[in-house]
Structure 1
Amino acid sequence: MSTERDPSTRNPRPFPYELRTFPMRLVDGKVPDEVAKWTQAVALGFYGNAPTAEDIAKFAVMEEVDGRMSTGAYLTDAPGHAGAWGPEYPVATYAYHRKNLNVGGGTLLPVHQITAVTVRPSHRRRGILRAMISSDLAQAKAAGIPMAALTASEAVIYGRFGFGVATHVCQVEVASRGGIGFHNPAAAARGTVEVADPLTVRDLHNGIFARVHAATFGSIGRHDMYRLIASGQGNYASLEPSRNVRAALHYDAAGAVDGYVSYQPDESATPPTVKIVDLLAAGEGAYLALWNYLGSLDLIERVTWDMAPEADPLEWAMAAKRDYKRTGTEDHLWLRILDAPAALAARSYAADGRITIHIGDPLGHASGIFSIEVAHGTATVTRCREDGSVAPELSMGVSELSSAYLGAVTARILQAAGRLREEMPGAAARFDALFALPVAAHSLTNF
């Protein structure tokens, strides 16, 4: 996530900043000073509560689990101002951890997840973000990571660095007064749903998410903080537990937990509403059964969720389809291909075929001409010579390819949008046939 705004112009002044990278961790049981001040700078950038020393220690413990590395931009050789934060506080922050991305066919692709990007307002438009992200992506590419990812607070920043929107999420409202009616009630009554202490969700989260992640195309790994988020025990804005978060577990026919929902009342909403904090369904029937439970809550007339998939089985399971309303759709996961042959070869394909594409990359990591040949759902990707001996059929930027990678957009739509050039007639249609997917990508992870 980022608080940096897209600059229209750049100040040509010298770059008076030093970039320092360090692990988020405790040393001898204590928080290093650089970790404490970096964390305070992040909270400033995202308008979070000023973290206490205890909060920062808890953050560091969880971030060490993720192997998080943090970068700060520090002002050098500049006089301090009385009363202001000193040069030991970074004027910009940036962090990454590494998880994996479900790209279909049972493949979990290593991914470089970027987060905590802020630039102090008084230091914007000086090239700090470009310096941080350019250096970081180069190091990730050198480390053999084929893909970078982020979720963005600002929608106009990251395209110029090669990122493209890869998944969307929907905000939905489901009318629940009198219960949710289903076309096939038996489909929403599989297994058993029982109320549980939210702390149980904290303890079950990692195991259930691992199952959901392995089965969900477009899913990306979660960081350790999610155990607290899902159970209402805190988040990066505040580690104060929410007393009104409730939870229910779904048990399969054998009595094993294969899903949960955590939820809380939305006190500002009319009619009486509960909003879903987190919903994970790993077993067959768990998803509809958990919704069936939510529809049975007394005194509640509406259930809302901000992370619903674009193609939601619930919408088609409900007898009154009009009671399911999308109130918004937003870009969610942004991807950035770093190694084109590795990323394209890892992805699953539903159809066989061949196409040659030219990729432009402003940072040079994925640029080139590549032949993609798919046989039996597996791609062989070959880098072609750029001496004129091979003519590409399509030309696009790495941002466009990164958006098409999980099927968020087709080549023909990108062509109509002026973001892709067809070098040979019919190439966009051939690309779309090759890259077509049987399911829509969906990620349940914010970072």
Structure 2
Amino acid sequence: MTIIVEPTDDFPYEIRSFPAKFAAGGADPASRKWEEAVDFGFHGSAPEDSDIEKSLISEEKDGRVHTGAYAASAPHGAWDAAYPVATYASYRKTLNVGAGKLLPAHLISAVTVRPTHRRRGLLRAMITEDLRRAKADGLAIAALTASEATIYGRFGFGAATHAATIEVDSGHGFALKAARLGRGFVEIAEPGELRGLEPGLFDRVHARTFGSIGRQDSYRHRVSGYWNFGKPGRDRTVRAALYYAADGTCQGYVSYRVQESETPPTLKVIDLLATDSDAHLALWHFLGSVDLVQRIRREGVPLADPLPWALADKRRYQVKEVEDHLWLRILDTVAALQARHYWLDGTVTFRVTDALGFAGGVFRLHTLDGVGTVTQLAASEPADLELGAAELAQLYLAGVGAQTLLAAGTVRELRTGGAAAVDAVFAAPVPAHSLTDF
């Protein structure tokens, strides 16, 4: 265990970090109480020791580091001082920055602050120290998914991708237009099969999806219904179907549950992975064929979803909600911009401000044949656009355009036409999409 912030008179908390690790003798007391605090923060069920052990085994595979803020004492009858009053976790995966390029990224998760210890600088102390260490380790970018949209902007994070919740009328008359469904076939499978299939299939989809972030080990357990954070025990309502190509190889799956108590009866998609459009359409053809269901609901759908254009009746497809999904934080502007793939050639210059001091400066980006070259310039050099670290993160995957941010008043144009020039350089053929919650 490492103490990363010592208590002071003004900040009477000790911040400690330790690796997630499962020992044969069971979870150590610090890990057990940290996991209980996380479940409390996200309103999960109070975990049994066996549930905590499952979590630790999975988190150890991801190389997660747990951080907690600890008060010096606790009153009689309350949770004792060995329970953290705030939690935080970090680990490393990759971000698809275009054309199959995978950039190592620092992922942040399990952020909670106990309601009785709010507004005391606990999150700021944990996140700024963690980001400092990540940059020192050579990471160019950090990422998270936010439960609340107003928390992370002040730390330089910006919403970089968005996703939709959709509902599809699967009642009488549901049909797809495509004639390619005969190339492969779908069969029912035991959900447990997904524990072995998910990692390999996801890696293939991840490699071809701009904006995708790597998945944690727990995903394979969640999508199979084996276990989920805050929901201990096997979920026996989960069902699964696999798509096989004509050569008999598995190229996709869907896991789902049917909620007959809803009106109308609804099939909820838990996860759908498809390595190509044949698999995607065939799995949707299967979902639309499930009896005693009149509606299909799926969250986390890409904004450029081809499904409505494949339906015989496009009006059966409704977007119910669009929300921000993946939030990014640039830690090293030169490294992050040079890692990304660019579909258009051009040259633009940014003046970046960063209150935390990680990404600020004046930077010229020149793109040619997909490759970006970045030069850091003197602070006095002219620039096309002035923006903060959060706005740079929003632009990074073309999740929003500079001209839109200019109209919103969150960036400043330093040269007439500068925002349009930035948009031309950062343009992507399809909206970035992440398939991962964490």
The residue number in structure 1 matching 2:402 is: 411
SS at match of 2:364: strand
1:43 matches 2:43: no
Q: Residue by residue, what CA displacement relative to the aligned partner does 1:399-436 show, whole Å, maximum 9, x if unpaired?
A: 01101111110000000000000000000000000110
1:292 matches 2:285: yes
The residue number in structure 2 matching 1:8 is: none
The residue number in structure 2 matching 1:235 is: 228
Of residues 7, 11, 14 in structure 2, which corresponds to 1:15?
Answer: 11
Whether the 8 Å contact between 1:93 and 1:117 is mirrored in structure 2 is yes
Question: Aligned pair in 2 of structure 1 residues 252, 308: CA closer, same or farther (>3 Å)?
Answer: same
1:89 matches 2:83: yes
CA distance in 1, matches of 2:228, 2:29: 22
The residue number in structure 2 matching 1:136 is: 130
1:434 matches 2:425: yes
1:181 matches 2:172: no
CA distance in 1, matches of 2:431, 2:424: 15
- Matched residues, number: 431
The residue number in structure 2 matching 1:114 is: 108
SS at match of 1:22: strand
The residue number in structure 1 matching 2:436 is: 445
**Alignment TM-score, normalising by the size of structure 2:** 0.96
Whether the 8 Å contact between 1:176 and 1:295 is mirrored in structure 2 is yes
Whether the 8 Å contact between 1:146 and 1:342 is mirrored in structure 2 is yes
1:195 matches 2:191: no
1:314-333 matches, cutoff 5 A: 314-333=307-326
The residue number in structure 2 matching 1:379 is: 372
CA distance in 1, matches of 2:280, 2:398: 24
1:127 matches 2:127: no
Whether the 8 Å contact between 2:100 and 2:210 is mirrored in structure 1 is no
Whether the 8 Å contact between 1:178 and 1:296 is mirrored in structure 2 is no
Of residues 23, 30, 37 in structure 2, which corresponds to 1:34?
Answer: 30
Question: Aligned pair in 2 of structure 1 residues 124, 436: CA closer, same or farther (>3 Å)?
Answer: same
Whether the 8 Å contact between 1:352 and 1:374 is mirrored in structure 2 is yes
Whether the 8 Å contact between 1:13 and 1:126 is mirrored in structure 2 is no
1:260-409 matches, cutoff 5 A: 260-386=253-379, 388=380, 390-409=381-400
CA displacement at 1:28 relative to structure 2: 4.7
Q: Residue by residue, what CA displacement relative to the aligned partner does 1:365-419 show, whole Å, maximum 9, x if unpaired?
A: 0000000001112110011111x2x111110011011011111100000000000
RMSD: 1.2
For structure 1, the 5+ residue unaligned runs are 1-11
CA distance in 2, matches of 1:369, 1:109: 23
For structure 2, the 5+ residue unaligned runs are 1-7
Whether the 8 Å contact between 1:354 and 1:434 is mirrored in structure 2 is yes
Give, as a single letter, the amino acid of the residue that structure 1 aligns with 2:428.
L
Whether the 8 Å contact between 2:97 and 2:339 is mirrored in structure 1 is yes
Whether the 8 Å contact between 1:179 and 1:295 is mirrored in structure 2 is no
Q: Residue by residue, what CA displacement relative to the aligned partner does 1:85-122 show, whole Å, maximum 9, x if unpaired?
A: 11111110000110000011221000011000000111
Whether the 8 Å contact between 1:394 and 1:424 is mirrored in structure 2 is yes
Of residues 50, 53, 58 in structure 2, which corresponds to 1:57?
Answer: 53
CA distance in 1, matches of 2:323, 2:212: 16
CA distance in 2, matches of 1:179, 1:146: 50
CA distance in 1, matches of 2:181, 2:353: 48
Whether the 8 Å contact between 1:68 and 1:97 is mirrored in structure 2 is yes
Give, as a single letter, the amino acid of the residue that structure 2 aligns with 1:441.
A
SS at match of 1:439: coil
CA distance in 2, matches of 1:242, 1:160: 38
The residue number in structure 2 matching 1:9 is: none
CA displacement at 1:232 relative to structure 2: 1.3
CA distance in 1, matches of 2:119, 2:422: 38
The residue number in structure 2 matching 1:169 is: 163
Percent of matched pairs sharing the same residue: 53
CA displacement at 1:13 relative to structure 2: 7.3
Whether the 8 Å contact between 1:252 and 1:283 is mirrored in structure 2 is no
